[in-house]
Amino acid sequence: MISFNFSNTTKILFGSGKLNNFLLKEVKKSSSSRVFLATDPGLVEAGLIESVTNLIEDHGLKVHVYSDVKANPSSDSIMKGASVFKENNCDLLLAIGGGSPIDFAKAVGVVASHQDHVLNYVHGGDPIEQKLPFMICVPTTAGTGSEVTSVAVVTDEQQERKMVLASPLIGPDVAIVDPILTASLPRHMVAATGMDAFVHALESYTSINANPFTDSLALQSMKMLKEHLPASYAHSFNHESKEQVHIASTMAGVAFNAAGLGLVHACSHPMTALYKVPHGLANAIILPKVIDYNLIANKSKYADIARILKPELISCDDDSAASFLVEALEEFNKQLDIPRDFSYIEGVMPGDIDKLVHDALHDQLTIPLNPRKVNSHDVKQIYQKLLPQLNTDSVAYSN
């Protein structure tokens, strides 16, 4: 018997030119008067934020630009942003940028509508019960899917851990997805964010919470990324591929918002918190090792993914097709010049692995949804393969 829940309340506006044509309309519909715009310094330097600010202020609304959003926003920076939001009597959140400004805006919204420190509201803590200010998100990278999800990742710098805020109340009201905004992305960011989207789709497809709605979105997203991500990486002005990758990223975000993620993300979050590895890059490097571990849990679905990457496997049975998946993923990463492991990281200490394993196993919104039951010994094996600096002989996974 099939039983599941599926919802996504974010209004999605997709298409080239949507930002200029629809942002002001959506701001006006919200009946807000003071906009808090969260972004990063790079977009300010590029001139995008000034054009957006002028567009809104020319129609009598006030905009306060908060441009000090760093990658993997810390809890301290979020509390500072929330103070600025309150001091300026803002009533609308506008996030323009990658996953960091969007997650930052969500977290600021939580603090602005509640009373305590943002870390009080991470998953497992106090509930998020109050409606957040109206929120519009404009992604400038194609990968995170945060513009359509009801989660936000916050870094606790004291513990060097990534924490998650999760509630239907923090899902953005409007997502303006304009592929023109990704045209100037550096190639390494195209690869990393694109693979982030691919991992979102793959993990939602194989999650124990997957359902027919999320499966359809995840499968189509992976097909589009397999076809268009290499072309988008190869040439920054391949507009058709840019559009297809951006659509696929948003679709994957809707899928994992409902179905959840798994062990790749559980292992990725500590790598970002401890070594500052960009999230999408960490996901891409970790992916083949985790699939090698997970493969026995759902040969049928992993075979489906293998056939997307290698269509010639269509004539193979599931066991045979699935056996090629790790190799196919490694080949896909190679096309995008993604490293095979984290051997490039300097300063890895032998004691780090215990923290990595501990934090991965306590990633509460991912580990429980992984298709294979996870234990500390096997997670340690995965990290040892990914961090050859530890000089530990690899052994077979335990059963």
Work out the average pLDDT over 267-294: 97
What is the rounded distance in angstroms from the CA atom of residue 268 to the CA atom of residue 243?
A: 27
Distance CA 195, CA 15 (A): 22
Residue ranges and CATH numbers for the domains of the chain are 11-182 (3.40.50.1970), 187-390 (1.20.1090.10)
Length of the chain: 399
Strand ordering across the sheet containing 11-14: 11-14, 174-177, 134-139, 92-97, 34-38, 62-66
Please spell the DSSP secondary structure of 160-229, one letter per residue. Answer: TEEEEEE-GGGS-SEEEE-GGGGTT--HHHHHHHHHHHHHHHHHHHHSTT--HHHHHHHHHHHHHHHHHH
Q: Is the pLDDT of residue 397 over 50?
A: no
Model confidence pLDDT, tens digit, residues 163-175: 999 999 999 999 9
Tens digit of each residue's pLDDT (9 = 90 or more) over 106-155: 999 999 999 899 999 999 899 999 999 999 999 999 999 999 999 999 99
Which residues does 270 contact at the CB level (< 8 Å), separation at least 6?
A: 161, 162, 355, 356, 359, 360
Query: Has residue 326 got a pLDDT over 80?
Result: yes
The pLDDT of residue 4: 81
Where helices occur in 295-351 by DSSP H, the ranges are: 299-309, 318-322, 325-335
Mean pLDDT (the chain) is 95
Please report the pLDDT score of residue 395 as a whole number. Answer: 41
Cα gap 168→18, rounded to integer Å: 25
For tokens 């497992």, the residue is: 124
Looking at residue 391, what is its pLDDT?
A: 67
